[in-house]
Chain A
Amino acid sequence: MSATDVLQVEHLTMRFGGLVAIQDLSFRARHGDITALIGPNGAGKTTVFNCITGFYKPTEGRIALHHGDPAMWDELGALTDSSLRKRVRADGGLFLLERMPDYLVTKDARVARTFQNIRLFKGMTVLENLLVSQHNPLMRASGLTVLGILGFGVYRHAENRATEKAIQWLEKINLIDRADDPAGDLPYGDQRRLEIARAMCTDPVLLCLDEPAAGLNPRESGELSELLLSIRQETKTSILLIEHDMSVVMEISDHVVVLDYGVKISEGTSAEIRDDPNVIAAYLGVEQDEVESVITEPVS
């Protein structure tokens, strides 16, 4: 079963001083799935994201990411024992994300992310935002700037290709008419979609979305669900999602992991989660045995 995993998080613990933000968390995300990470406020979801994307160094635990040949998972033990952070072959790669600095998690392991509070380059145009996210391939094409400065054609071709890719994504998220406007000028919902497109321009195998539906109206949430489903369908990118909007979670996720106070309290398909008394208790903020009485109480 593990052969189809894209991400394995094992015994992840994150402490800030005395505060335990995540406690011994283990979960898996499968290739091509949309995995949702849910839980009440302060459950540690964003901390998990920051550990996966290299912004935090976890106190303990292993975060392994894989693409390509499924057989590579068998080498996980050997890689962990070595002091290396990755094993890359022509047909796949295996990465220990907890050992990698943030920018390499995106560059080598191909994990892209968005942020809870949108982090677009607001003073740059929509198109420029999408070009910046193709930095690494463009940098190679510009011969680490040298060829680019001398005006070699190699770079011009690469830039044209990058622009085409940006146009594709802009058409997909319906922002092609605003390509030359500053990103900060877009309405909120468009900014959310642009941030997802920007992350997708890095060609990720795993896309981590931190509350992509936050602040969206129901129509926009619906569009977002469609966008995520089509991303999965067309690019085969696996998606890891933090979300509070249960309509989005229930509609699109294949697998749901529930966190509360840094501990995993439940895991399963959306239907299973919906009926799990543990989850209901956590969301209502009561002990499990009180759930029955709270739910049956008449709403005053």
Chain B
Amino acid sequence: MEVFIQQIINGITLGSIYGLIAIGYTMVFGIIGMVNFAHGDVFMVSTFVALVTALILATWLGISSIFLSLFVILLVGMVVTSLVSWTIERLAYRPLRGSFRLAPLISAIGMSIFLMNFVQVAQGPRNKSIPPFFQNVIVIMEREGYQVTLSYRQIIIWAVTATLLTAFWYIVTKTSLGRAQRACEQDQKMASLLGVDVDRTISMTFVIGAALAAVAGTMYLMYYGVVSFSDGFVPGIKAFTAAVLGGIGSIPGAVIGGLLIGMIETLWSAYFSLDYKDVAAFCILAIVLIFLPQGLLGRPEVEKV
């Protein structure tokens, strides 16, 4: 029981990270029907931006307040990552919009390979580790020497995720940008005829997705303390799985899917096999797509004859 509770706690933490990345996939898929393959690598870039910012703050500026530096890291990460994603959309996707269906996918895969290798060349192939942000933990339960703990790091991840999701939810439901996004999802041509700037709306979708991925990147760096150029692929696929599981196109679905994937992964690792934890994630992806392609909260697709 204690192990279970501990794994649930860890799973929610991991799931928050997946959920934040998953929103980027789900929004882009919703609006232009494309799997943004490079999104996982955008997340990876954000972990490096966070790493460099953290090092600048700690070693050069000597800022000791962890909360202040966390705030600055988040801000810088969100801005730079959004810029990266905006540029990718502008250069690699927009020229291909409305053309051959496979072209954007190949372009996105190319972008993914490019980003991964760019970071490898620019920052070196080794794992980069920094000392952990917070060491403190709260012991929630204890029985027979097994402690169920909740670390400060986890609390911060939960809090930041919750806060940003609320802000994000406000943007997509209450602002004109959110309305424009929903209009573009339904019918881009009609939306543009009614005066919605479709290009700008799509760009903003990429920007928002990237900003949330940057939050996930900062949390990832803070939680694990290690980043590597190859860290985009597997979290990216898992976040995509989360998006699919929740129902692609559905934003609450992405969050729920993320939490589920996070918990399944930690429970699987604890009870079955650590080696096969990625296999479990990929199997869920395949099973969900095959048997429940509309996901938990998505709309089913009816075949038109």
Contact = CB atoms under 8 A, between A and B. Distances in A.
A complexed with B = yes
Interface of A: 46, 50, 55-56, 115
Contacts of A46: 305
Majority SS of interface residues in chain B? loop
Contacts of B305: 46, 50, 55-56, 115
Interface of B: 303, 305
6 contacts: A46-B305, A50-B305, A55-B303, A55-B305, A56-B305, A115-B305
A115 B305 CA distance: 8
Nearest to A16: B302
The 5 closest A-B pairs by CB, nearest first: A55-B305, A50-B305, A115-B305, A46-B305, A56-B305
Interface class of chain A by DSSP: loop
Contacts of A55: 303, 305
B15 to A, nearest CB: 33
A71 to B, nearest CB: 35
A168 to B, nearest CB: 29
A111 to B, nearest CB: 14
Contacts of B303: 55
B32 to A, nearest CB: 24
A127 B303 CA distance: 28
Contacts of A115: 305
Nearest to A210: B305
B294 to A, nearest CB: 14
A26 to B, nearest CB: 23
Nearest to A56: B305
A50 B304 CA distance: 10
A16 B303 CA distance: 12
Nearest to B303: A55
B90 to A, nearest CB: 32
B302 to A, nearest CB: 8
A115 B304 CA distance: 11
